């Protein structure tokens, strides 16, 4: 933040030095009009800066949300594949592993998802994956190649679930840089106040487009804040993937 403030201070210093130099050279005309070249140039540049910051503040969360949503489907699909593979394990390991996968899905869907809005995952989820992995490793397949293949397959899918879970934990903590949001807010405020700062006094019908612009800028600025977190706000990733996997596990268990 200090570097940003220093950069802004340097830019203001450049403006002041340029103003003093031009006055001494006496090769410039005074510009104090609201519609003069200074106000026009400043307004255009501020508008461009606001649009740039606004675009980045929208595109980055949108991209993060798409990536996080795709990852939840990858995790849920890994659960389904692990469930299928677990059915080929010797009893009672097959039943315990499948029940563990059902409990894991229920934990993610009902307990973990509300916590992810605050950037946190439950430690119980990690513990359940580790418990299932230890139980599968402890399975004695004997001389049966099918059981050996099933155990290796379940372990591979549990690794995929764990990797997707790690990515989901990262997604829950990802937000755009706070400086970007502040730049969007500050430039939006300055764009609204610029006519007044330039010395204009809007009256009558001129206030209507100015008020509409201010309202739309405020709505757009709030949008950048509302979508800044992947698992909350207007672009929130919902547990649709895990809703679907619960139904899929029930279908598999029923022999469908």
Q: Which residue has the tokens 């933040």?
A: 1
Calpha distance 34→121 (Å, rounded): 54
pLDDT higher than threshold 80 for residue 16: no
More confident of the two residues 193 and 152: 152
Nearest to 142 by CA among 184, 217, 91, 177: 91
The pair of structure tokens assigned to 98 is 């499948």
Calpha distance 161→152 (Å, rounded): 14
* 8 Å CB contact between 103 and 95: no
Which of the residue ranges 24-33, 97-106, 115-124, 178-187 would you say has the lowest mean pLDDT?
24-33
Residue 177's pLDDT is: 84
Q: Which residue has the tokens 């039943």?
A: 95
Residue 76's pLDDT is: 93
163: Cα within 13 Å, side-chain hemisphere:
9
**R_g of the chain computed on alpha carbons:** 29
pLDDT higher than threshold 80 for residue 3: no
* 8 Å CB contact between 78 and 117: no
Coil/strand/helix, residue 243: helix
Residue 159's pLDDT is: 95
Omega of the bond leading into 62 within 30 degrees of 0 (cis)? no
Omega of the bond leading into 45 within 30 degrees of 0 (cis)? no
pLDDT higher than threshold 90 for residue 118: no
Residue 154's pLDDT is: 92
Calpha distance 101→128 (Å, rounded): 9
Which whole number is the average pLDDT over 15-42? 62
Angle between helices 93-106 and 37-86 (to 10 degrees): 160
pLDDT higher than threshold 60 for residue 172: yes
pLDDT tier for residue 33 given thresholds of 50, 70 and 90: low
More confident of the two residues 139 and 40: 139
* 8 Å CB contact between 246 and 110: no
pLDDT higher than threshold 70 for residue 114: yes
pLDDT tier for residue 126 given thresholds of 50, 70 and 90: very high
Which whole number is the average pLDDT over 43-68? 88
Calpha distance 158→150 (Å, rounded): 12
Ordered by start, the domain boundaries in the chain are 41-253
pLDDT higher than threshold 60 for residue 15: no
Nearest to 130 by CA among 155, 102, 153: 155
The phi, psi pair for 240, rounded to 5°, reads: -60, -40
Tens of pLDDT, residues 138-150: 888 777 778 889 8
The pair of structure tokens assigned to 139 is 């399975």
Which whole number is the average pLDDT over 102-123? 90
How many percent of the chain have pLDDT more than 70? 84
pLDDT higher than threshold 80 for residue 93: yes
pLDDT higher than threshold 70 for residue 131: yes
Coil/strand/helix, residue 166: helix
Range ranked top by mean pLDDT from 39-48, 163-172, 233-242:
163-172
Classify residue 255 as left (phi > 0), alpha (psi -120 to 50) or beta: left
Calpha distance 85→104 (Å, rounded): 16
């Amino acid at each position: 933040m200090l570097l940003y403030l220093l950069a802004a201070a340097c830019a203001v210093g450049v403006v002041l030095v340029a103003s003093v130099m031009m006055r001494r050279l006496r090769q410039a005309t005074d510009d104090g009009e609201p519609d003069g070249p200074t106000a026009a140039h400043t307004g255009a540049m501020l508008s461009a800066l606001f649009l740039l910051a606004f675009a980045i503040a929208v595109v980055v969360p949108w991209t993060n949300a798409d990536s996080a949503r795709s990852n939840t489907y990858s995790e849920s699909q890994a659960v389904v594949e692990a469930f299928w593979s677990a059915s080929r394990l010797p009893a009672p390991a097959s039943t315990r592993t499948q029940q563990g996968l059902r409990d894991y899905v229920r934990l993610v869907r009902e307990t973990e998802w509300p916590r992810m809005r605050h950037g946190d995952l439950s430690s119980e989820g990690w513990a359940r994956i580790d418990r299932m992995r230890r139980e599968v490793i402890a399975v004695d397949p004997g001389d049966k190649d099918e059981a050996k293949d099933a155990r290796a397959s379940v372990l591979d899918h549990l690794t995929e679930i764990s990797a997707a879970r790690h990515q989901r934990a990262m997604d829950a903590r990802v937000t755009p840089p706070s400086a970007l949001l502040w730049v969007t807010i500050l430039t939006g405020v300055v764009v609204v106040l610029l006519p007044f700062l330039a010395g204009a006094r809007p009256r009558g019908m001129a206030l209507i487009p100015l008020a509409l612009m201010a309202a739309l800028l405020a709505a757009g600025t709030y949008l950048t804040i509302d979508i800044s977190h992947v698992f909350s706000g207007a672009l929130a990733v919902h547990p649709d993937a895990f809703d679907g996997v619960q139904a899929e596990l029930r279908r598999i268990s029923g022999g469908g």
